[in-house]
Amino acid sequence: MASLMHLQVTLTYKAQICQQKLMLLLEQTPQHLLVGAL
């Protein structure tokens, strides 16, 4: 049970990191597209 809890925590932690990276990419992408359009 302890290992299962640890696995769940690890997956949640990695998921949060991935989500943060996606948010950063989404924030940066429109700026690059705007610069490219200009």
> For every one of its 38 residues, what pLDDT tens digit does the chain have, with 9 covering 90 and above?
679 999 999 999 999 999 999 999 888 877 767 677 66
Which range of residues forms the domain containing residue 15?
Answer: 1-36
Number of structural domains the chain divides into: 1
How far is residue 22 from each of residues 4, 5, 7, 15, 26, measured CA to CA in Å? 27, 26, 22, 10, 6
Question: How does DSSP assign 1-38, residue by residue?
Answer: -HHHHHHHHHHHHHHHHHHHHHHHHHHHHHHHHHHHH-
- For position 35, what pLDDT does the model report? 76
Q: What's the predicted TM-score (pTM) here?
A: 0.58
- For position 28, what pLDDT does the model report? 83
- For position 8, what pLDDT does the model report? 95
- For position 12, what pLDDT does the model report? 96
- For position 3, what pLDDT does the model report? 92
For residue 21, the tally of other CB atoms under 10 A from its CB is: 10
